[in-house]
Every structure is written in C-alpha cells, then in structure tokens.
C-alpha cells in the first residue's frame, strides 16, 4: 500500500501545494516563475507525478545553493 501511494500522482492544486508545503496560490505562481512541473489532466484539473516533484524540489534547492555561493552570501 505504501509503495502504491508513492507512485500515485498528485491531482489538483490542493494536493500539489500540500506536498510542497505552500499555499495553492503560491504553487500556481511557482509553476510560472520556477517551472513547477505540473500538467493539465483536463481543462480544469492539474496533476504531477511525485517523482517529478521530488526532482524539482532538489533542483530548486541546488539552484538556490549555487546562487548563494556565487553571490558571496
């Protein structure tokens, strides 16, 4: 059961936002500003695979660390 939960995609902005710890509006903004890998399931429903969210979070964290390193902070 646990393994199946890990492969089940996140469907809808509420699930996606909850998974990354932000509000729905922030998740929607992150899609535009930082390339949150969300796809449209229907005209009004979005989804993302959990593995894609995990990879995106790692990439964002890595870019953030790299930005701090080059800015001298």
Of residues 6 and 24, the one with the higher pLDDT is: 24
Residue 40 makes CB contacts below 8 A (sequence gap 6+) with 46
Q: Which is nearest to 54 in space by CA: 11, 24, 9, 14?
A: 9
Q: What's the rounded Cα separation, in Å, for the pair 67 and 61?
A: 10
What average pLDDT does the segment 16-34 reach? Answer: 97
pLDDT at position 14: 97
Helices (runs of H) and strands (runs of E) counted in the chain: 4, 3
Q: How confident is the model at residue 1 (pLDDT cuts 50, 70, 90)?
A: low
Q: Bridge partners of 47?
A: 11, 39
Tens of pLDDT, residues 37-47: 999 999 999 99
pLDDT at position 64: 87
């Amino acid at each position: 059961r646990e393994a199946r939960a890990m492969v089940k995609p996140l469907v809808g902005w509420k699930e996606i936002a909850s998974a990354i710890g932000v509000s729905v509006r922030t998740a929607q903004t992150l899609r535009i500003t930082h390339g949150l890998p969300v796809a449209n399931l229907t005209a009004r429903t979005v989804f993302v695979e959990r593995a894609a969210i995990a990879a995106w979070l790692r990439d964002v964290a890595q870019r953030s660390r790299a930005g701090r390193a080059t800015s001298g902070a």
